[in-house]
Structure 1
Amino acid sequence: MIDVVLKKGKEKAVLHKHPWVFSGAIDNVKGKPANGDIIRLLDSKKDFLAYGFYNDQSRVAVRLLEWDENTPVDDNWFRDKIRTSVAGRAHILADGTTDTCRLIFSESDYLPGLIVDKYADHLAVQVLTSGMQNVMPVIIDELKALLNPASIFDKSDATSRQHEGLETTNVLLAGNQPPELVYVKENGISYGINIAEGQKSGFYCDQRYNRELLASYAKGKKVLDCFCYTGGFTLNAIKHGAASVTSVDSSALALETLEKNIELNNYGGGMQHNGFKSDVNVQLRKFRDEGEKFDIIVLDPPKYAPSRSALDRASRAYKDLNRLGMQLLNSGGLLATFSCSGAMDMETFKQVLAWAALDAGKQVQFIYQFHQPEDHPVRASFPEGEYLKGLLCRVW
């Protein structure tokens, strides 16, 4: 096994079990490892630190796996991590009201670069590192043995794969091609999702508990769901008795699927639903100019800050978006606003909302903090795994 040696004084994060080693921390490499090979990481005194995946094309040159020198990182090591991750989610699926969740969450489950989502009898995987790409035959074999899925579909179409020297891919790995719509349940609500063509791995299961909590306020209310995708917040609001729901998204396919989901759950009668295919910021300004008002507004935008270097620009975008949302609320209305940007921490997000309130001429109370659910755990030594945060705000 090839040795990668750190510069003097660069071992602190490794000793604290952080799984990333940046290229600038490396002093030398004893040999010529291929990208994705497992290497031994040594400190400047040549003492063992950890085993990890190596990639000289990536800014994160080593992704650490195991800190015990006497525990080999072999096929059984990966199989054990998969079994542990899957077992830890079993209770989420136990009562039958939900059959979709994230089974493996990359570094947070000690499998850097591997994401596996379960959609009823189907699995969608995303492989984001060259090291994990090398062990995919073992991963697929273990997932088949554990879960016997109808299909395993590779949704590794993230552009971040380019940083690892990998091409994007969107192919069937095992089983039969999934149907155009795979039907799943979350919180007792049915959804048809398009695994092959949908965003990310097909469905955003990280808002499962947040959707249900917010819907508990929806009875008799006029609700606006922005960046609605296939209707997670919309359908929960309808289920809990909203007077009307307006859904906005730029994707025609998402809105088409949302309408099918309303029909699938027999939610069509007695409640007004309007869908708008539009850029959310444009549509919010149009609602404002038309004098529209809502009781509850959901703002769940895509990632505005993919890195810390983009945080200033993203903060301005979040501020403008939330300012518009606050202006459209009835006095005392609720704003559920989210950021899925890992670079945006909660305190910065609160400050952005304070600026938005000032610009909107509103007073805001933070009454609840939203988080990602337990199938998206945050590893103590890897705080970067905490990406989803949100605030429920009462706006006056």
Structure 2
Amino acid sequence: MAISDIPVPLRLKPSRHFPFLARHPWVHAHALAELGDDLDCGQVVDLLDFEGNWVARGVINPKSRLRIRLYTFDANIDINESLWRSRIDAAIARRRLTGPFDPEGAERAIFSESDLMSGLIVDRYADCLGVQFTAGAMLRWQGAILDHLRTALSARSVMVRMDEKTSKHEGVEPQGQWLEGANADGPVLYTQNGLQLAVDLHEGQKTGGYLDQRLNHLAAAQYMSGRNVLDVCCYNGGFGLLALKHGAASVTGIDSSAPALEQAKLSIARNGLDGEAFGQSSFRMADCFAELKKLGEEAQSFDAVILDPPRFAGNRHQVDTALRAYRRLNSMAVDLLPPGGVLVTCSCSGRVSRTDFLNMLLDVGRRRRRDLIMLENRGPAPDHPIAISCPETDYLKCVIAQVE
């Protein structure tokens, strides 16, 4: 049976409407007086306060703890294919505010809540798209959304993914298939920061790569000339490759993923960074904590250490554990740096606030009796905009500091 286009009203518990008056897009089940358990996934709902006043319009997934995602706070706007097309067009136009379209480049074209399309992430690599649905309810309009993305971004291939963990939380089948395209099985080549890079949209992380760090890669590289650099959690070499290009004496990359390290080595060869004009590079597969501990025990020293670990806090209950992990990682990194060394340290844990992260670094300096002088306090590239009404979108921290 087809899902009705007529919104179904659902009420909130008393005094639970205030976040949504501020246009926050997530309604968890515990905020609802009426759970809507009998509704279909993808049913449009009208969110009402406890007194019955209209608040917002969204889409429900009865199998998810994030029960309703809100998409409009105007009762005159319907949620349908036309809305998704207009939101996609607006997101693409937003990217053009910061630069012209680069057909060989890469960018995040749709960033979920920040582009008013909660549950959809789209990365463009040249003429290929990596699409990640994180909301089961959005799959109702999957065909229309993908058709418009292909047209609007002139894409020859589209990869749709929903990882196993997200699928379980959303109560839907995992996604992972090429919907359209020729010879899309191999790596996709694209340009970034003057380098030719490759991404594996089948097996790579999330939608393929980490585009949010690209301007941080470039900013950090300005400090690396003549330095021996340790790149921890290097993935496919984003920081290290640019460090070599900008004159680093050597780069040592550490990561736990063998395929990522292989991509880093291939990128060095592809861009001629292994020639006599560039510093030495080496990569090793290892756990970041174990390897930093080993290097410290061996009394090794580096002129710069880069830390770009994976997310340590997936929910608010993991924040304290995450901060302890960041403190340990940064403490071991500081121990490897002589006075005047450069520390580039990152966190992609949205639950860890920028204030928490800086306080963690303050504690590292206190415990290690070292001064950390912050040179730059950075966030993601502008194609990863921040929705003021959804603080969770302000997730990426990148601090460049000198350690005395």
Q: Same fold (TM over 0.5)?
A: yes
> Is the 1:98–1:187 Cα contact (8 Å) retained in structure 2?
no
Contact 1:119/1:182 (CA < 8 Å) preserved in 2?
yes
- Counterpart of 1:214? 220
Which amino acid letter does the alignment assign opposite residue 138 of structure 1? A
Q: What amino acid does structure 2 have at the position aligned with 1:141?
A: D
Aligned length: 396
SS of 1:27's partner is coil
Q: Distance in 2 between matches of 1:285 and 1:296?
A: 16
Change (3 A) 1:17 1:283: same
Aligned counterpart, 2:186: 180
Structure 1 portions without partners, runs of 5+: none
Q: Hey, what does 2:363 align to over in structure 1?
A: 355
| Aligned pairs for 1:381-392 within 5 A | 381-392=389-400
Residue type at the aligned position of 2:131 = V
| Rounded Cα–Cα distance in structure 2 between residues aligned with 1:288 and 1:30 | 55
d(CA) in 1 for partners of 2:207, 2:232: 20
Q: Tell me which residue corresponds to 1:289.
A: 297
1:366 paired with 2:374, answer: yes
Distance apart, 1:350 and its partner CA = 1.2
1:1-396 equivalence runs, <5 A: 1-28=7-34, 32-90=38-96, 94=100, 96=102, 99-157=105-163, 159-270=165-276, 271-396=279-404
AA paired with 2:280?
A: Q
Residue 163 of structure 1: how far off its partner (Å): 1.5
Contact 1:97 1:187 in 2 (8 A): no
1:91 and 1:244 mapped to 2: Cα distance?
A: 37
Match of 2:4 in 1: none
Task: Return the alpha-carbon distance in structure 2 between the equivalents of residues 198 and 27 of structure 1.
Answer: 41
Moved over 6 A (4+): none
Note if contact 1:92-1:98 (Cα within 8 Å) is conserved in structure 2: no
Following superposition, the deviation at residue 52 of structure 1 comes to: 0.4
| Residues 42 and 140 in structure 2, CA contact (< 8 A), matched pair in contact too | yes
Give the C-alpha shift of residue 57 in structure 1. 2.2
What is the rounded CA distance, in whole Å, between the counterparts of 1:57 and 1:116 in structure 2? 24
2:245 partner letter? K
One-letter amino acid matched to 1:285: K
Q: Is the 1:3–1:31 contact (alpha carbons within 8 Å) kept by the matching residues of 2?
A: no
Instruction: Answer yes or no: is the 8 Å Cα contact 2:38–2:62 preserved in 1.
Output: no
Going from structure 1 to structure 2, the CA distance change for 1:91 and 1:44 (only over 3 Å counts) comes to closer
Aligned alpha-carbon RMSD (Å): 1.6
Equivalent pair of 2:305/2:342 in contact (CA under 8 Å): yes
How far residue 346 of structure 1 moved from its aligned partner, in angstroms, is: 1.1
Secondary structure of residue in 2 paired with 1:124: strand
2:39 partner SS:
coil
State the 1:45 CA deviation.
Answer: 2.2
- Whichever residue aligns with residue 336 of structure 2, its letter is L
Shift of 1:332: 1.0
Bigger shift: residues 269-278 or 96-105: 96-105
| Alpha-carbon distance in structure 2 between the residues aligned to 1:29 and 1:255 | 46
Measure, in 2, the Cα distance between the counterparts of 1:95 and 1:36.
33
- 1:59: how far off? 1.9
Q: Aligned partner of 1:296: which letter? A: A
- Give the TM-score normalised by structure 2: 0.94
Residue number in structure 1 paired with 2:3: none
Deviation at 1:29, TM superposition (A): 5.5
Tell me the TM-score normalised to structure 1 length: 0.96
Aligned counterparts of 2:273 and 2:101: Cα–Cα separation in 1: 23
Equivalent-residue separation in structure 2 for 1:189 and 1:93 (angstroms): 18
2:341 aligned counterpart, secondary structure: strand
2: CA distance, partners of 1:149 / 1:375: 18
Q: CA deviation at 1:256?
A: 0.7
